[in-house]
Amino acid sequence: MVRTRFAPSPTGYMHIGNLRTALYAYLFAKANNGKFILRIEDTDTERTVEGVIDIIYKTLKQAGIEYDEGPDIGGDYGPYIQSQRKDIYNHYAHKLVETGAAYYCFCSKERLAQLQESGAPKYDKYCLRNVSLEQARSKIAAGEPYVVRQNIPEQGVSSYTDLVFGEISVDYKDLEDNILLKSDGMPTYNFANVIDDHLMRINYVIRGVEYLTSTNKYNLIYDAFGWERPNYIHLQPIMKDSARKLSKRTGDASFEDFIAKGYLSEAIVNYIALLGWSPKDNREKLSMRELIEAFSIEGISKSPSIFDEPKMRWLNSLYIKEMPPQAFAKKSKPYYDALGLESKFDYETLDKLLQSRVEIMSDIPEKLKFLDEFDNFDLGLFENKKLKTDKMIAKEVLPKLIERLKRIENFDNNSLFENLKEFSAEINLKSSALFWIMRIALTGAQVTPGGATEMAALFGKERALERLQAAYKRL
């Protein structure tokens, strides 16, 4: 059975790149009737941020990425939080020393600093060459601090096949004897992820391309224990432009940020799925079920992807347009309430105007700002060279329009539109010119969420006439 995992560090909000890794691991597992596991890698205690684990749970839930095993739901291979597995790592670290694939190191910070200052390209295996295993055990028994370092062969080449990039080979001389177990007894990522992946039966490891060559070091640990290596799928980064990667460390948007900006979770997930992968039929709008059905390794790109927020806005607009009216109403209400519209407008009418005209929910205040800025609008907006309108024509037309509107009983959009089309012919003015003047006089804006008659219907007869009269007095 296919078993994949997502193993985030609880160091901040869920970055878009991290969420894509989780999504691909989830899609690959589900596309192959497998299991998707959540594991928290919190061994870097200095960078761990309180409360972030709950954010990880919340984000995955919002994104519709359902894990089969994890810290909060359990499973057969727990615990699923690394800080709770310290004894496991210690056991395997000492066992690895016994195989000769690792060794105890007692070098002080001062010696390591001197080694670095001397220009040495990497650690010089001093403790491996000068401290026997028996001596090392005596030092440990005496309470001397130590770390466990991986013993990389000094000659030869390490190779493996990545399912995206093909064969990856690295000369051992280019690899360093990195620390596997720190002096506080906690493992480094280099060691813990191998132990956990093996014990949790992870057979497909999906992660960023930055681990493409270091995977050769991890494979040595598998080999030393006689364990089967997993299959590897490495992903190119998501870029903010041609030169810079998206990064939470530089303040790039997280999943939570985009939700707060009014994006729908389904649209975010849909978009990030396309950042580094494409279905065979090149569809762009896919539900989670459709993503699972279409996902395959063959569609993963070997090139980095550039995050294009306008593209995600466009995709989000498609989801908004297709939302059931009641779902849109639930999303829009907080924005209307914040604008203080509860006693002024029928929310259902606003929804009908806006649902097809916003790309993200936070567009709503911008679409409705004319409601507050009406009193001070620029009278120059009446001028439209294409329609041949200006302030003088508006001053001539508005009194006639006001009188006409007073006589209209059915003040809905359709009735207004048909009536005023007839009226424009009666006064020998193009209907487009009449509606332009009417829109400006009603809203003080050139762009509104709907045409002139829709705006009049929104305001209602009494308020629409008040606005038209106020605009006329200013001319």
Phi, psi for residue 352 in degrees, rounded to 5: -60, -35
Phi, psi for residue 150 in degrees, rounded to 5: -75, 140
CB neighbour class for 140 (10 Å; exposed up to 12, middle 13-18, buried from 19): middle
Q: Which residues fall within 8 angstroms of residue 204, CB to CB, at 6 or more apart?
A: 2, 3, 4, 25, 28, 29, 34, 230, 231, 232, 233
Dig out the tokens for 217 from the structure.
């070091």
Q: Is 173 a catalytic residue?
A: no
Tokens 């000492």 belong to 94
**CA–CA dist 390, 392 (Å, integer):** 6
C-alpha distance from residue 93 to each of 161, 179, 284 (Å): 26, 11, 47
Q: Half-sphere exposure of 447 toward its Cβ, with a 13 Å CA cutoff?
A: 6
Per DSSP, which regions of 183-289 are E strands? 204-208, 231-235, 238-239
Point out the catalytic residue in the list 86, 122, 139, 248: 248
Q: Which amino acid is at 466?
A: E
Looking at the DSSP bridge assignments, the partners of residue 15 are: 254
Tokens 């028996």 belong to 134
Dig out the tokens for 253 from the structure.
């948007």
**CA–CA dist 97, 345 (Å, integer):** 74
**CA–CA dist 188, 180 (Å, integer):** 5
Q: Which residues fall within 8 angstroms of residue 219, CB to CB, at 6 or more apart?
A: 158, 160, 229
**CA–CA dist 69, 80 (Å, integer):** 8
Q: Which amino acid is at 116?
A: Q
**CA–CA dist 362, 262 (Å, integer):** 5
Tokens 């914040």 belong to 338
Instruction: Residue count of the chain, please give it.
Output: 475
| Chain centroid to CA 133 | 48
Cα distance between the two ends of the chain: 76
User: Annotated catalytic sites, by residue?
Assistant: 248
